[in-house]
């Protein structure tokens, strides 16, 4: 040996050390490739292959005459792939996208950990001008990509917005819900109205594209593609022409209108004023716009036809009248004399006609809407009988339409008062209830449904948003005699057509309209509405059906602070009925030819 | 071959990767250089060592003054048609010179002569390398120096100093411990120490490298079938992370064979050291073997995530002409020492 004595020993030791080092490497390689190999293989596939869900074209929503109410439109957004973000010039990008620099860097940096490879959406709802700008600067930001989603164009804008609904981004809860598992993340889903209720049908089945990508998130090759299946179309029972006419006839007033087909339960119109533009939502609503809608004092997002309840006022007399005849409390000739008020103990219950109606029978009492006559009926019937009839007609309970979180209304009786108020029922309260005041409360939708049952002679149909292919079978028939309905219907025709009828404003030369006015008190004392500030004025009701002989449409009109029902709400009902009947006649002529 | 795979374009109809062609030229030059290195007695290297050392230092100085920048570091010198990395050349001259210096020393090294050797031969180039900055090469040169003085033999005080210096390099060991921690523990620690840590930075490199190697499983995805490299998930795929590309395509089986080949080369080097005819040859062979070992361990350890990410190439495999040339020359020197182990032939 040429070097020092112990050197060969040292060489041997270093050889062992080196072998040990190699052994460590081998162990580590074994650990990565054998023990965790399949895990890493999966990761590498995920790295390279990306499953992109492709939203299916949404089904179209049509009105009952086949007029499309919505259109699918592209919705552009720009995203950036999360790899290779180093060296990204945030301020230049912020300038290009016209975004706040802090907001942008927040978006880029604070991405959720689990979506390491998912592109980060930077800005949505791009205009064509913005797209052109971004594409022009493409070479400066290679990992930027403009992509497209499907959104909606609501062709009639705010018309029918509460019914049709709108699309929006899924919320946290929906993200984790199994119902939306097959929905591409960030895709628009139905968030309100029919869009939400029938989302599953409309949505279709989303497709899948398995794409090979590089680290910059650029598509290299399409490996497998599953085409999306277009969603089913939905044909609404709604008549857009009727809906539009009804909304326009409200003008700037707030209120609601619900129209139904009495022989099927189909919902022809559902108006809630003021309305809103669903396109705002479908184009990615800005926070400021959302705030504005939410804080608007007139509550445009509230569906007043289902989500607001009001005392029905004199429209409720229809129920009292039917109950009185059916229960034998009176017959058609029973006469009551109205002196303008009825005195009960120390309380005076006035008629709206201060000078009194004189002596009248049920027919004229309905036509002239005499309060005193109905106080008398109330006294004869008792609140519990009135309440049971009200419930038969669907008042006081939810309709189960599921289109909005509806209110149930209120039908009081002695049991309710004892349980909830811990008080006995007073006769005075019966007087109030008989004319639809006091505790009684209904939604406009319930009143339309009630009118529909009166019109068809006691048949109850399940209310339907969708157009019925065949005439549906009624759920039940009320155990009320036909003669009772005939008597009441004759009187309701009189309300509009006879001299002195409170509903004279609905009188139409085109069709025999039957109806009943209602004025729901907002403040306790009766005062002449005209001189009150609007917020204290009474709510105006008008419930109607037409034509008298064979009803084709039943509706309710509710105008908040409209004053007297006959003056404010009846003309709206007339306009709505006329436009619908005109459409029907046109169609009939076409089908007969 | 692996460079071809690493740099092949992601799609089959792309252009020929230029890296591959360039490396091929360098490989031919390297083989010629290897033959050249065998053709003369290595004793000439000993004689020329100080001149070579001076030349190497001059080159390093040139780099610092007018070097070309690449990957954030100034390591290249541009010589018209080719640019090369003087540090790769220097490390050989350095090993040769230390070997000569130590071989001319009598007995074990005392503290004074250890310090003298260090400051004379190792200190200045290491500082210059750190300035480049080429921390990887600097650390490796320091380690080679230490291992060579240990092999030469140290007196007690000197040995104590070496131990002390080794302790300074504990962070290195610490890294191995560090990798033993669970991910969330590390995240916490990192978040604690460096809140600004960029997740798509170093962590991303190591992660992608581990994914590449791990996904190779037992027999690999097959040559040219790897996806991490060509699809750009793996950064520095043809240089420092070439082992990841290899591991992905050839799997555990291929890796074991590769490890075995490197180990054979290194053990052969050690064997040569013990059989060399003189102490210079012996130390030179040891120095080269240690250099290979350290490069290999640091580089592969880095791709496996058990070593910190320092930019050192994998000998013989990484892209880089000068590095390839230097490694072939080093191998040539080993062969030279081995063939001339019997003094009586000369």
Structural domain span for residue B65:
2-345
Tokens matching residue A428: 């005075």
On the question of a cis peptide bond just before residue A81, with omega within 30 degrees of 0, the verdict is: no
Residue contact A220–B198, C-beta within 8 A: no
- Reply yes or no on whether A249 is catalytic: no
Tokens matching residue A557: 């009109």
Phi, psi of B189 (to 5 degrees): -65, -45
Residue contact B255–A14, C-beta within 8 A: no
Phi, psi of B199 (to 5 degrees): -65, -25
Q: What's A530-562 look like in SS3?
A: HHCCHHHCCEEEEEEEECCCCCCEEEEEEECCC
The Cα A87–Cα A546 span in angstroms is 72
Cβ neighbour number for residue B28 with a 10 Å cutoff: 9
pLDDT of the residue at B133? 66
Tell me whether B206 touches chain A (CB under 8 Å).
no
Residue contact A14–B198, C-beta within 8 A: no
The Cα B116–Cα B123 span in angstroms is 10
Kindly write down the DSSP assignment for every residue of A44-58, as one continuous string: HHHHHEEEEEEPPPP
Taken in order B221, B206, B254, B231, is the CA torsion positive or negative? positive
Tokens matching residue A544: 């109607």
List chain A residues with pLDDT less than 70: 1-7, 44-51, 82-87, 110-118, 212-220, 523-535, 592-593
Tokens matching residue A509: 């030369």
CA distances from A512 to A43, A492, A509, A515, A548 (A): 74, 11, 8, 10, 6
pLDDT of the residue at A155? 94
Q: Which of 127-166 (B) contact A at CB < 8 A? A: 147, 150-153
Q: Which entry of A275, A314, A369, A452 is annotated as an active-site residue?
A: A314
Taken in order A45, A49, A50, A55, is the CA torsion positive or negative? negative
- CB A62 within 8 Å of CB A240: no
- CB A167 within 8 Å of CB A152: yes
Q: Which of 182-241 (A) contact B at CB < 8 A? A: 212-216, 220-221
Coil vs helix vs strand at B331: helix
- Enumerate the residues of chain A whose CB falls inside 8 A of the CB of residue B289: 18
Instruction: Look at residues A79, A74, A90, A89 and name the one whose alpha carbon lies nearest to residue A122.
Output: A79
Phi, psi of B79 (to 5 degrees): -115, 65
CA distances from A485 to A53, A322, A336, B324 (A): 57, 7, 21, 104
Give me the residue from B200, B214, B247 closest to A83, CB to CB: B200
Tell me whether A82 touches chain B (CB under 8 Å).
yes
pLDDT of the residue at A127? 84
pLDDT of the residue at B300? 86
Cβ neighbour number for residue B125 with a 10 Å cutoff: 24
Tokens matching residue B3: 């460079």
- The pTM of this model reads 0.65
Phi, psi of A379 (to 5 degrees): -60, -40
pLDDT of the residue at A2? 41
Taken in order A67, A72, A73, A77, is the CA torsion positive or negative? positive
Strand ranges for B105-176 from DSSP E: none
Interface mutation vs chain B, best among A5, A8, A9, A11, most B CBs within 10 Å? A11
Interface mutation vs chain B, best among A12, A29, A211, most B CBs within 10 Å? A29
- Enumerate the residues of chain B whose CB falls inside 8 A of the CB of residue A215: 231-233
Q: Give burial (CB, 10 Å; 0-12/13-18/19+) of A320.
A: buried
Angle between helices B202-215 and B242-275 (to 10 degrees): 80
Coil vs helix vs strand at A185: coil
pLDDT of the residue at B40? 80
Q: Domains in chain A, start-ordered, CATH in brackets?
A: 51-235 (3.90.1310.10), 240-275+302-592 (3.40.710.10)
Alpha carbons within 13 A on the beta-carbon side of B314 = 25
Instruction: Specify the length of chain A in residues.
Output: 593
Q: pLDDT (tens digit, 0 to 9) for every residue of chain B, 346 residues total? A: 444 444 433 323 233 456 667 777 778 888 888 888 877 877 788 788 888 888 888 888 877 776 555 444 455 555 544 556 778 888 888 888 888 888 887 777 777 787 888 887 888 888 787 776 677 778 788 888 888 888 887 777 777 777 777 776 555 545 544 554 445 445 544 544 443 344 444 455 666 777 777 777 777 666 656 666 554 555 555 667 778 878 887 888 888 888 888 898 888 888 888 888 888 888 888 888 999 898 888 888 878 877 766 667 888 877 777 888 888 888 888 888 887 776 554 4
Q: Give burial (CB, 10 Å; 0-12/13-18/19+) of A420.
A: exposed
A297 Cβ contact list (under 8 Å, min separation 6): none
- Enumerate the residues of chain B whose CB falls inside 8 A of the CB of residue A48: 227-228, 231, 233
Residue contact A221–B251, C-beta within 8 A: no
Closest Cα in chain A, distance from residue B213 (Å): 7
Closest Cα in chain B, distance from residue A11 (Å): 7
- Tell me the H-state helices in A172-226: 172-176, 193-197, 199-203
Instruction: Look at residues A180, A230, A179, A176 and name the one whose alpha carbon lies nearest to residue A205.
Output: A230
Q: Cα–chain-centroid distance for residue B104?
A: 27
Domain count of chain B?
A: 1
The Cα A328–Cα A323 span in angstroms is 8
Give me the residue from B210, B231, B282 closest to A40, CB to CB: B210
């Amino acid at each position: 040996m040429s070097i020092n004595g112990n050197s060969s020993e040292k060489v041997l030791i270093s050889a062992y050390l080196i072998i040990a080092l190699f052994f460590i490497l081998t162990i580590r390689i074994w650990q990565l490739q054998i023990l965790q190999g399949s895990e890493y293989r999966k990761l590498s596939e995920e790295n390279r292959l990306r499953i992109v869900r492709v939203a299916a074209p949404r089904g179209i929503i049509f009105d009952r005459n086949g007029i499309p109410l919505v259109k699918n439109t592209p919705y552009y957004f720009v995203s950036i792939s999360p790899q290779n973000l180093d060296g990204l010039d945030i301020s230049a990008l912020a300038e290009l996208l016209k975004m706040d620099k802090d907001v942008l860097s927040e978006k880029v940096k604070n991405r959720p950990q689990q979506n390491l490879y998912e592109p980060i959406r930077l800005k949505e709802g791009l205009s064509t001008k913005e797209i052109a700008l971004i594409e022009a600067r493409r070479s400066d930001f290679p990992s930027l990509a403009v992509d497209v989603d499907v959104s909606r164009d609501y062709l009639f804008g705010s018309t029918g917005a509460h019914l049709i609904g709108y699309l929006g981004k899924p919320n946290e809860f929906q993200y984790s819900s199994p119902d939306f598992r097959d929905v591409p993340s960030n895709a628009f889903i139905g968030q309100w109205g029919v869009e939400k209720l029938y989302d599953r049908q409309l949505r279709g089945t989303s497709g899948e594209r398995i794409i090979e990508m590089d680290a910059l998130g650029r598509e290299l090759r399409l490996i497998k593609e599953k085409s999306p299946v277009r969603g089913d179309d939905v044909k609404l029972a709604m008549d857009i022409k009727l809906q539009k006419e009804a909304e326009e006839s409200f003008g700037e007033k707030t209120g609601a209108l619900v129209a139904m087909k009495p022989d099927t339960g189909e919902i022809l119109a559902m108006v809630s004023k003021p309305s809103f533009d669903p396109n705002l939502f479908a184009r990615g609503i800005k926070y400021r716009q959302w705030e504005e809608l939410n804080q608007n004092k007139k509550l445009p997002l509230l569906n007043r036809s289902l989500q607001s309840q009001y005392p029905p006022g004199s429209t409720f007399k229809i129920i009292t009248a039917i109950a009185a005849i059916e229960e034998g409390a009176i017959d058609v000739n029973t006469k009551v004399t109205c002196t303008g008020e009825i005195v009960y103990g120390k309380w005076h219950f006035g008629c709206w006609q201060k000078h009194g109606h004189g002596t009248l029978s049920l027919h004229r009492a309905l036509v002239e809407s005499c309060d005193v006559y109905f106080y008398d009926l109330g006294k004869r019937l008792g609140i519990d009988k009135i309440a049971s009839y009200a419930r038969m007609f669907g008042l006081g309970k939810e309709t189960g339409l599921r289109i909005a979180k509806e209110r149930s209304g209120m039908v009081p009786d002695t049991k309710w008062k004892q349980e909830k108020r811990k008080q006995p029922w007073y006769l005075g309260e019966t007087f109030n209830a008989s004319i639809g005041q006091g505790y009684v409360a209904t939604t406009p939708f319930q009143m339309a449904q009630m009118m529909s049952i009166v019109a068809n002679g006691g048949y109850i149909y399940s209310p339907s948003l969708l157009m019925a292919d065949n005439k549906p079978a009624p759920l039940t028939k009320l155990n009320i005699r036909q003669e009772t309905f005939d008597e009441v219907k004759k009187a309701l025709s009189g309300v509009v057509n006879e001299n002195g009828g409170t509903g004279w404003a609905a009188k139409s030369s085109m069709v025999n309209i039957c109806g009943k006015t209602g004025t729901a008190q907002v403040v306790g004392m009766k005062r002449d509405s005209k001189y009150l500030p609007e917020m204290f004025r009474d709510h105006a009701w008008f419930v109607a059906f037409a034509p008298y002989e064979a009803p084709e449409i039943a509706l309710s009109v509710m105008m908040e602070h409209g004053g007297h029902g006959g003056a404010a709400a009846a003309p709206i009902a007339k306009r709505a009925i006329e436009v619908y009947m005109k459409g029907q006649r046109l169609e009939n002529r076409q089908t007969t030819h | 071959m692996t460079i071809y795979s690493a740099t092949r374009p992601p799609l089959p109809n792309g252009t020929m990767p230029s890296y591959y062609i360039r490396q091929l030229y360098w490989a031919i030059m390297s083989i010629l250089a290897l033959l050249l290195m065998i053709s003369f007695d290595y004793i000439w290297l000993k004689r020329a060592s100080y001149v070579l050392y001076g030349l190497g230092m001059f080159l390093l100085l040139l780099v610092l003054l007018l070097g070309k920048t690449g990957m954030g570091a100034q390591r290249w010198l541009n010589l018209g048609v080719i640019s090369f990395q003087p540090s790769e050349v220097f490390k050989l001259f350095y090993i040769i010179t230390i070997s000569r210096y130590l071989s001319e020393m009598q007995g074990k090294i005392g503290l004074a002569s250890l310090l003298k050797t260090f400051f004379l031969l190792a200190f200045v180039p290491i500082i210059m390398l750190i300035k480049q900055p080429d921390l990887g090469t600097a650390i490796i040169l320091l380690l080679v120096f230490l291992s060579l003085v240990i092999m030469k033999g140290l007196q007690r005080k000197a040995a104590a100093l070496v131990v002390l210096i080794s302790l300074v390099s504990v962070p290195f060991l610490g890294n191995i411990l560090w990798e033993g921690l669970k991910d969330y523990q590390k995240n916490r620690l990192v978040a604690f120490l460096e809140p600004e840590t960029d997740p798509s930075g170093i962590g991303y490199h190591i992660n992608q490298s581990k994914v590449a190697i791990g996904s190779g499983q037992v027999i690999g995805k097959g040559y040219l079938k790897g996806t991490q490299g060509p699809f750009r998930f793996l950064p520095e795929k043809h240089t420092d992370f070439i082992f990841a590309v290899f591991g992905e395509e050839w799997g555990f089986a291929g890796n074991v064979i590769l490890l075995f080949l490197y180990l054979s080369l290194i053990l052969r080097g050690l064997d040569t050291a013990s059989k060399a005819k003189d102490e210079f040859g012996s130390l030179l062979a040891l120095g080269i073997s240690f250099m290979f070992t350290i490069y290999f361990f640091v580089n592969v350890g880095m791709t496996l995530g058990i070593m910190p990410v320092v930019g050192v190439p994998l000998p013989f495999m990484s892209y880089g002409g000068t590095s390839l040339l230097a490694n072939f020359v080093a191998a040539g020197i080993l062969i030279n020492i081995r063939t001339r182990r019997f003094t009586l032939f000369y």
